[in-house]
Chain A
Amino acid sequence: DADVTQTPRNRITKTGKRIMLECSQTKGHDRMYWYRQDPGLGLRLIYYSFDVKDINKGEISDGYSVSRQAQAKFSLSLESAIPNQTALYFCATSIDRVGGTQYFGPGTRLLVL
């Protein structure tokens, strides 16, 4: 969905490096999410933000941090990347009401060597 963009789309990094994945949306949604997808494990929630001042940990937040720079921007950082953080990362957005569908970006494929 072009309304939710992620950069970069692919990234290779080395163990111990700090990297940032960025997400931008033009949907005007208040809520933004970061998920991780691993084969056979589905999507797991890393962090979510209900608005600029409200950031919450998800199911698997250890080793990750986030920043909500504006309503439209939500970044995910790996402070010191490790190989088991190799995965496909998705950003999603939703409106702040009951029944708000989550809209996903195209994903970032991350390889940590």
Chain B
Amino acid sequence: GENVEQHPSTLSVQEGDSAVIKCTYSDSASNYFPWYKQELGKGPQLIIDIRSNVGEKKDQRIAVTLNKTAKHFSLHITETQPEDSAVYFCAASIDEPGANNLFFGTGTRLTVIP
């Protein structure tokens, strides 16, 4: 089955700096890579996703990059703000009819220091 590794497990940055979280996956058939943000006491919420037919996707201050050859993808958060503090999870799946089960990384706890 798919194995997703995520690094670092904790990350502290000063407000306004950038944060980068990296994930690798093992199954070359995986083609869908979502990122989830989990705030304290809440369930994970999708913040951005990318498919294997593109290399980069941006949404305001967040961006995700994908390198299919190396089987890794990264989340980039620019101009970090205290409300970005949360646990972030990457995931991978084979997104096709009858499938799309997600395999999650182990999470990164991001702390943005005011």
A residues neighboring B (CB under 8 Å) = 1, 4, 31, 33, 40-45, 48, 50, 58-59, 90, 92, 94, 96-107
Contacts and interface: CB of A to CB of B under 8 A. Distances in A.
Contacts of A102: 34, 46, 102
Contact of A44 (B43, B97, B104): B104
B44 A43 contact: yes
Nearest to A45: B101
13 contacts: A33-B101, A40-B107, A43-B44, A43-B104, A44-B104, A48-B101, A90-B43, A98-B95, A98-B97, A101-B34, A101-B46, A102-B34, A104-B43
Contact of B41 (A90, A100, A106): A106
A90 B101 contact: no
Interface residues of B, number: 27
Nearest to B49: A101
B38 to A, nearest CB: 8
A105 B95 contact: no
